[in-house]
Amino acid sequence: MEFFNSALGKNITFVRPAYFIISGLSGIPNILYYYVFLFFLYIVSVLGNTIVMAVICLDRNLRTPKYIAVFNLAFVDLFGNSILVPKVVDIFLFNHHYIPYNDCLTFFFFCYTCLSMQSFNLVALSYDRLMAIIFPLHYHVKVTHRFMFSLIAFFWVFVLIAQLIAIGLLTRLSICKSVVINSYFCDHGQIYRLACNDHFPNYVISCLYPVVMFWVPLVFILLSYLYIVCTLAKVATVQQGLKAFKTCIGHLSLVAIYFIPLLITCTLMENIHPNARIINLSLTSVFPPMLNPIIYVLQTQEIKESLSKLLKTRMRSKIPIIKNDHTVNIM
């Protein structure tokens, strides 16, 4: 990180605390029930996303560009929740509020990476729906396995570089105001405000980050669906349009679950109690990964059929066969 640190000058003495104290959910009445609720959401998320990933891997019919993006979304949801929820429960339920400096930056890195990748995964799925509905004859030419792998790889590289820049800018800060982070995880905004030296670059990052990682993807998704609606209104009957748009219900549900809580929280952030804001943000981080697999299983016909087929195959493999007065179990 010498590049970032050189911006301070050679005579600056850094104050890097040995640890931070996470205190965001302290002092809330009956908060124990909330931790239990978070852990329940986490268990449902793990089971749901694991099932979606397993179904996509086991069924060759689902190895399409669209389901590459769905698999990646399930992986990001599983990985992100596995980083966030157990750590939050450990911090607040077992009173391990002290988190080492380097561990805090690592916690921040992975949490923000997964939150950002959820947003960009929805962009990939939106582009897939756009091509499938507007250019159905050219879909298999334009949206190939190689294209989808490349698109998702680009998103990963972009998000990882953005997080590394944010981490680098944090390491150039001299933390001397406090070591208490009033959040449920190592929040970028909470950390840089504890610095005594110039943190303007961090402020710029904190302003640009939500725009680039959340609002630009949301605008792209909304514009893609606006284009779909306008095109279908011109070239298709109402029945055909509804049939085509029905294939987007699952994706639109994911978009609503992910972005609407963010919009509400950001809009009301200045008018609600800090504890309420922290709980809203934590639910915004945990709910979408839990609901995404449920929505895809219930709303996507291919996954429902594949899951049903896999379950029937599994059940048949355990049915005993009576042959020559001997019971043989098919395994």
The share of the chain scoring above pLDDT 90, in percent, equals: 50
Q: How far apart are CA 187 and CA 193, in angstroms?
A: 10
Q: What is the band of 20 on the pLDDT scale with cuts at 50, 70, 90?
A: very high
Both tokens of 313, joined, read 């195959």
Predicted local distance difference test score (pLDDT) of residue 328: 46
Closest CA to 296 of 46, 74, 121: 74
Edge-to-edge strand order for the sheet containing 19-22? Answer: 98-100, 19-22, 180-181
Angle, CA of 223, 229 and 233, to the nearest 5°: 145
Q: How far apart are CA 251 and CA 150, in angstroms?
A: 21
Q: Read off the pLDDT of residues 193-227 as tens digits, 9 standing for 90 and up.
A: 999 988 999 999 999 999 999 999 999 999 999 99
Neighbouring-strand partners of residue 195: 175
Q: Which one-letter DSSP state was computed for residue 13?
A: P
Q: Read off the pLDDT of residues 117-144 as tens digits, 9 standing for 90 and up.
A: 999 999 999 999 999 988 888 899 999 9
Whole-model pTM?
A: 0.87
Q: How far apart are CA 252 and CA 246, in angstroms?
A: 10
Closest CA to 19 of 108, 98, 105: 98
Q: How far apart are CA 99 and CA 83, in angstroms?
A: 14
Average pLDDT of the residues in 87-92:
89
Indicate the class that CATH gives domain 16-299: mainly alpha
Domain ranges of the chain: 16-299
Average pLDDT of the residues in 73-99:
92
Predicted local distance difference test score (pLDDT) of residue 238: 75
Q: What is the band of 233 on the pLDDT scale with cuts at 50, 70, 90?
A: confident
Closest CA to 297 of 83, 124, 47: 47
Residue 266 CB burial class (10 angstroms; 0-12, 13-18, ≥19):
middle
